[in-house]
Amino acid sequence: MPLLFPRLARPDARVALRVGDETLRYDELARAAGGHAAWLRARGVSPGERVGVWAEGDLPTLVALVGNALAGVASVPLNPKLGERELAHVLDDSTPALVLATDPAALPPRLSGALPIMRREDAPIVRREDAPPPREVDDAPLLVLYTSGTTGAPKGAVLSARSVAANLDALAEAWRWGADDELVHALPLFHVHGLVLGVFGTLRVGAGLTHVPRFEPPRFADALRQATMCFAVPTMYHRLADAAEESSEVREALRRPRLLVSGSAALPEREHRRIEALTGRGVHERYGLTETLILCGVRADEGPRPGEVGAPLAGVELQLVDETGAVVDEPDQIGEVWARGPSVFSGYLGRPEATAAAFAADGWFRTGDLATRSRDGRVRIVGRKSTDLIKSGGFKIGAGEIESVLLEHPGVAEVAVLGVPDEDLGERIVAFVVPRGAPPAPEALIDLVAKALAAHKRPREIHFIDALPRNAMGKVQKAKLRPQG
């Protein structure tokens, strides 16, 4: 069977990972991650079990994520900014055998039993008989990534090594991503974009990654100077374009990589044009979901195509389906994107019903995204079926999860949450609240969500209204709600 990270099985002195001033060469990474895997095994953690990783953007965390993969365990990366309730949910739902963190002393009380990630200098020289065999492209779970739906708490999408490898190979082909490439990204390490594409993609092709733990345009631009590729969400491109307007250094840095890639949300055509006007360089867009990995992408050899996410990647089957369930085959007609292929996930952890509901007959995964396709097969994402899913800063957020938290506040009688267009975030979370008695302080409601769920799920605005608009059946008509003033 082929290996998941072939270069780690024949490691050399090429730099694999760089975070700040620290670097790890492939030979050092192989030793550290191999030591981690042997240590897990010595602790009795068996292949197939789940291990939580407190996903700070540092080198030890990257080693743990790679080491878990080598050990055959599934990583459950935990967003370090998760609020109490969401953290408890993810832990109760994923039941990790253990949780690892760079600094366990800094964790919330719920994680008091977490273990420290082995420091690089402590990584043992692993005896041949203790070393786990190199990780193959097998069907065992590699990752459990938590992702929001329209209702309820986030679900754990189980991704096998095979689906990840299939997707990364298709992307490597589309982007001509190879061992000479140097990728830079500042994405969080608990989602597909930063972890699967950014980290595992780099290691699968044997290339180099510079991870910038905190996105700030000047610092990011510094890192870009050595890059051949850049991955970012539209909010980051928006902020880079703002910075480029002020700074010739940022403009110059953005010209360096051969490929600027955007994904996780739509990059508006206006932003494409702005970056092109400022730098002379365009942005290549790609489209995907946690559950399917990346489905479409503009290829490196075809130049940026503003407004389009490209054609389906190798191995991906895609069809557009109308409301009656009929396949749309007229060019430029809108339908929901249904997808099939080797990169599609194995299901939601412990939720056979939710998994079954996500698929139509014949194994088609229903994405919920609306798109058109041109005569030559190029896809344009035009919207989403549900107003209850919000993409803000590239994070997917369910309106329902926020509404449930706000309803617990004694000053909230009714609430409706929606995403409204936002130049910077793509969509901005806005809550319309019918107060019970005197309206609570907006900050109290915002903090309630940030503390229970996650900071990126907090409403950016609270609007108090007298009543929610409802139809004759009593259903809230969110489309009628728009921020006033």
Interface with ligand AMP (CB under 6 A): 147, 192, 263-266, 285, 287-290, 309, 367, 369, 381, 384, 391, 396
Closer CB to ligand AMP, 59 or 166, in the complex: 166
Give the pair of three-digit tokens for residue 323.
């409301």
Least separation in angstroms between CB 191 and ligand AMP: 6
C-alpha distances out from residue 437 to 259, 375, 383, 469, Å: 55, 57, 37, 19
Residue 187 partner contact from ligand MLC, ligand AMP, none using kind-dependent CB cut-offs of 5 to 8 Å: ligand MLC
Nearest alpha carbon to residue 198 among 267, 293, 332, 270: 293
Q: Which residues pair with 381 in a beta bridge?
A: 371
DSSP 8-state secondary structure symbol assigned to residue 136: B
Residue 102 partner contact from ligand AMP, ligand MLC, none using kind-dependent CB cut-offs of 5 to 8 Å: none
CB 23 within 8 A of CB 69: no
Site map 43..82 versus ligand MLC, x via CB under 6 A: --------------------------------------x-
Q: What is the dihedral of CA 24, 27, 28, 31, to 10 degrees?
A: 140
Q: What is the dihedral of CA 348, 351, 353, 357, to 10 degrees?
A: -20
309 binds ligand MLC (CB under 6 A): no
3-state secondary structure of 295: strand
Least separation in angstroms between CB 266 and ligand AMP: 4
Phi/psi of residue 482, each to 5°? -145, 145
Residues in 318-337 that interact with ligand MLC by CB under 6 A: none
Angle at 127 between CA 126 and CA 128, to 5 degrees: 110
Closer CB to ligand MLC, 362 or 443, in the complex: 443
- DSSP string for 122-136: GPPPPPTTTSPPPPB
Closer CB to ligand MLC, 228 or 235, in the complex: 235
The DSSP H or E segment spanning 145 is strand 141-147
Which residue has its beta carbon closest to ligand MLC? 393
Closer CB to ligand MLC, 35 or 404, in the complex: 404
Closer CB to ligand AMP, 181 or 285, in the complex: 285
Least separation in angstroms between CB 326 and ligand MLC: 27
Closer CB to ligand AMP, 94 or 147, in the complex: 147
Closer CB to ligand MLC, 37 or 192, in the complex: 192
Closer CB to ligand AMP, 26 or 146, in the complex: 146
447 binds ligand MLC (CB under 6 A): yes
458 binds ligand MLC (CB under 6 A): yes
Closer CB to ligand MLC, 126 or 241, in the complex: 241
3-state secondary structure of 338: strand
Q: What is the dihedral of CA 11, 12, 13, 19, to 10 degrees?
A: -20
Give the pair of three-digit tokens for residue 310.
């490209």
268 binds ligand MLC (CB under 6 A): no
194 binds ligand MLC (CB under 6 A): yes
CA separation for the pair 76, 53 (Å, rounded):
6
Question: What are the helix (H) ranges across 247-358?
Answer: 248-255, 269-279, 352-358
Residue 279 partner contact from ligand MLC, ligand AMP, none using kind-dependent CB cut-offs of 5 to 8 Å: none
CA atoms within 13 A on the CB side of 367: 29
156 binds ligand MLC (CB under 6 A): no
Q: Which of 297, 394, 440, 459 binds ligand MLC (CB under 6 A)?
A: 394
Residue 236 partner contact from ligand MLC, ligand AMP, none using kind-dependent CB cut-offs of 5 to 8 Å: ligand MLC
Least separation in angstroms between CB 425 and ligand MLC: 6
Q: Which of 11-19, 173-181, 391-399, 467-475 is the region at the interface with ligand MLC (rule: CB under 6 A)?
A: 391-399
CA separation for the pair 414, 481 (Å, rounded):
14
Compute the Cα dihedral for 338, 343, 349, 353 and give only its sign: positive
Residue 381 partner contact from ligand MLC, ligand AMP, none using kind-dependent CB cut-offs of 5 to 8 Å: ligand AMP
**Within its chain, how far is the Cα of 434 from the centroid?**
33
Q: Which residues pair with 389 in a beta bridge?
A: 398
DSSP 8-state secondary structure symbol assigned to residue 207: -
Residues in 196-235 that interact with ligand MLC by CB under 6 A: 215, 233, 235
Residues in 88-147 that interact with ligand MLC by CB under 6 A: none
288 binds ligand MLC (CB under 6 A): yes
CB 318 within 8 A of CB 306: no
Least separation in angstroms between CB 186 and ligand MLC: 7
Residues that bind ligand MLC (CB under 6 A): 81, 187-188, 191-194, 215, 233, 235-236, 263-264, 288-290, 393-395, 446-447, 450, 455-456, 458
